[in-house]
Amino acid sequence: MLDFAQWRETYAHDVLGSSPTVTRALEFVRRIAGCDSSVLLTGETGTGKEVFARTIHRSSTRQGKPFIAVNCAAIPDTLIEAELFGYVKGAFTGAVNARAGKFAAAHGGTLFLDEIGDLPLAAQAKLLRVLEERAICPVGADHEIPVDVRIVAATHRDLEDMVERGTFRADLYFRISVLPLELPALRDRGEDILELAEAILARAAGRSVPAGLHDSAKAALRAHAWPGNVRELHHVIERALLLAPSPLLTAADLHLGGRRKSQPHLAVVPPLEVAAPAPAQAQAQAQAAASDLDAAVDLRTALESLERQLINRALTRAQGNRTEAAALLGLNRTTLVEKLRKYA
């Protein structure tokens, strides 16, 4: 049997960090990987739930079978049943061919139900029946099909609170939370922040972008609260690599103007009384404001030119992949597509 270090190197190499919270989470995964009980991963958005789900699958007896990930929040309510359980030809308008659902695709392996807290109640009832009966009935079919899957569910929501409010079924909650694991927020694993940042930089170096972190950048990374967790850290580093004038990233390059881990107490200072400007001074201020307004047109042009350059650089880095380029720029893919149309 592999010891923890060997197990981690073999199965959990995607999980970076050596903080006690991450180590405890991985030790839990190691203990439960060999069984077939359902796992519920909880924690804030961006903490790496899918990475842990893949680690559970990779280290289980199902590792040679499919790992299928489903984002429950991204499926329209009217399509959830067809997406999960499949449908037969002619089941509804547009169903010109039969299609297997996610459960059938994951047969023998692991089905990762991300954002399960976003499932509507009607879909929760159907999901519960499948988990209890271990069989699915495709939309339009008159018979059930046996399925063998291990469920790993994930959510950033408080399901216990949702159960109390009646927005999540208690029986489904108990069914999916046999083995609960809460993943730590990045701000609670401070010693891992620099290790993660260095790993992201090393991956960028593999794409011919050598870079490093100035001491000011390291201090800023440690001080930030990381409300978006590991996902936010990725975006911050990738954006800095695109915008920074030097490969040695400074605190200013990171643009971490948001929340910090702790805020010092600020004394309340009474507002200053500002005297009204003299007529001549007021006229000079008005003229300066008008001049600034005239210059705004040139500023807008300059900003658009800079935006074009950054988009082109991101597309080059991503080898034309718009989804990856959007991530590098910190944009949604649809926003990037709109900007490309604008500058076409």
Residue the block writes with tokens 């991300």? 114
**For residue 154, what are the β-bridge partners?**
41
Residues 174-217 pLDDT 10s: 999 999 999 999 999 988 999 999 998 888 766 656 678 999 99
Q: According to the model, what pLDDT value does residue 327 have?
A: 72
Residue with tokens 């409010």: 165
**pLDDT value of residue 285:** 52
Full set of structural domains in the chain with CATH:
4-184 (3.40.50.300), 187-254 (1.10.8.60), 294-342 (1.10.10.60)
- In the structure encoding, which two tokens stand for residue 164, read together? 């109390």
Residues of the chain with pLDDT under 50: 263-277, 289-290, 292-297
Walk across the sheet containing 150-155 and list its strands.
67-71, 110-114, 150-155, 39-42, 179-182
C-alpha span between 103 and 106 (Å, rounded): 5
Give yes or no for a contact between 183 and 43, defined as CB atoms under 8 angstroms apart. Answer: yes
CA-based nearest residue to 30, from 50, 6, 48: 6
Beta-sheet pairing, 145-146 with 67-71 = unpaired
Nearest-angstrom CA–CA distance, 293 and 121: 54
Per the CB < 8 A criterion, the answer to whether 157 and 117 are in contact is yes
- So what's the pLDDT on residue 145? 94
Residue 331 DSSP label: -
pLDDT confidence of residue 335: 77
Q: What is each CA distance from 178 to 35, 167, 181, 242, 280, in whole angstroms?
A: 11, 20, 10, 44, 76
The reported pLDDT for the residue numbered 233 is 94
What pLDDT is attached to residue 273?
A: 37
Q: Per-residue DSSP letters for 81-121?
A: HHHHH-B-TTSSTT--S-B--HHHHTTTSEEEEETGGGS-H
